[in-house]
A = this chain, B = another copy of it.
Amino acid sequence: MAGKSKETYTLWADFWKALSHPIRLRILENLREEGTLNVSQLVERLGIGQGHLSNHLACLKTCGLVQTEAEGRFIYYSLADSRVPQLLALGESIFSDHWAGVATCVVVARPGSGSEETLPRATDRSLIDRVPR
Q: Chain B's nearest CB lies how many Å from the CB of A4?
A: 5
Known: A62-B102, A127-B8. A110 touches B14 (CB 8 A): yes
Contact B99 A15 (CB under 8 A): yes
Known: A65-B94, A94-B64. A99 touches B5 (CB 8 A): no
Closest-by-CB residue of B relative to A55 is B107
- Identify the interface centre among A11, A81, A86, A93: most chain B CB within 10 Å of its CB: A11
A-side residues, CB < 8 A to B, are 1-26, 29-30, 33, 45, 55-56, 58-59, 61-65, 80-81, 83-84, 86-87, 90-95, 97-99, 101-110, 112-114, 120-121, 123-127
